[in-house]
Amino acid sequence: MKNKSCSTTPSCEDCVINTISVFNKLTIDELNILNFEKICQIYKKGTIIYNEGSRISGCYCIHGGIIKLYKTGFEGREHIIRFAKKGEIIGYRSLLSNDFACHTAKVLEDAQVCFVPGETLFKLLENNPKFSLEMLKLACIELGEANAFITDIAQKSVRERLAEVLLILKDSFGLDEEKNLQIVLTREELGNIIGTATESVIRLLSEFKENNWIEINGRKIKMLDIKAIQKIASKK
């Protein structure tokens, strides 16, 4: 299916007010510039926004939906870095470093995304020190989280990593009224996050289910005993 332009372009001011965004450091005049120069589109599930190794000419602000960021490893296997959601920005680090994209961005759930041209972003960074500092903080936070996750993968068993990923997904996307994770992933995607085979994920999910820690309905995962899962993740 083709992607299409947003029928109603989301206001940058609304994004700043309703989400945690680095753009809340911009002045009203700067937000007006951003509103005028950005390009907003609706991307359908499965669409590639940009590929690893490509040149990015701007950054992407997520107004709605979920984007999967991953690197392609040996034999084409995905290594999922993280999932980006409403209020987050992707692609900016490769743009700022004038380097090729270090990952692929693929739409996991239909997404409304605003593209900010590089020229616009650089102009805002040059003229607004507070905004520049906020972007620097964002890059540092993301690198810190990535380093922490890599450390955990090296030190924890697959069972512990699965428990931790379930908790991270809960904290990042929340639970619905029935305690289901508000992000739906395949078993393969879960395996690509924690660095194990799909078969191992299926076996461990079955174990978690048998112990009444979770309930599984298709791809949906219901978190029944969060304390038990926290205990596994913390190796206590």
Question: Which range, of 25-39, 84-98, 101-115, 149-163, averages the lowest pLDDT?
Answer: 149-163
Residue 7 has pLDDT above 80, yes or no: no
Query: Could you tell me the two tokens for 7?
Result: 């029928």
What class is the 4-153 domain?
Answer: mainly beta
Q: How far apart are CA 146 and CA 103, in angstroms?
A: 13
Residue 152 has pLDDT above 80, yes or no: no
Residue 18 has pLDDT above 90, yes or no: no
Q: How far apart are CA 95 and CA 198, in angstroms?
A: 34
- % of the chain with per-residue pLDDT over 90: 68
- pLDDT of res. 125: 95
- pLDDT of res. 4: 60
- pLDDT of res. 170: 95
- pLDDT of res. 100: 94
How many separate helices (H) and strands (E) can be counted in the chain? 9, 9
- C-alpha dihedral sign at 161, 164, 170, 173: negative
Q: How far apart are CA 220 and CA 217, in angstroms?
A: 5
- pLDDT of res. 236: 52
- pLDDT of res. 16: 55
Residue 10 has pLDDT above 90, yes or no: no
Residue 191 has pLDDT above 80, yes or no: yes
Where does the pLDDT of residue 76 fall: very low under 50, low under 70, confident under 90, or very high at 90 and above? confident
Domain limits, the chain: 4-153, 156-233
- pLDDT of res. 5: 59
Cα 76 to its chain centre, rounded Å, is: 21
Dihedral of CA atoms 96, 99, 100, 102 in degrees, nearest 10, equals: -70
First-to-last CA distance in the chain?
A: 48
- pLDDT of res. 148: 80
Q: How far apart are CA 78 and CA 112, in angstroms?
A: 24
Mean pLDDT, residues 167-191 taken together = 94
Residue 82 has pLDDT above 80, yes or no: yes
What CATH number has the domain spanning 156-233? 1.10.10.10
Residue-wise pLDDT tens digits, 31-58: 999 999 999 999 999 999 999 999 999 9
Residue-wise pLDDT tens digits, 85-107: 988 999 999 999 999 999 999 99
What mean pLDDT, rounded, does the chain reach?
Answer: 89
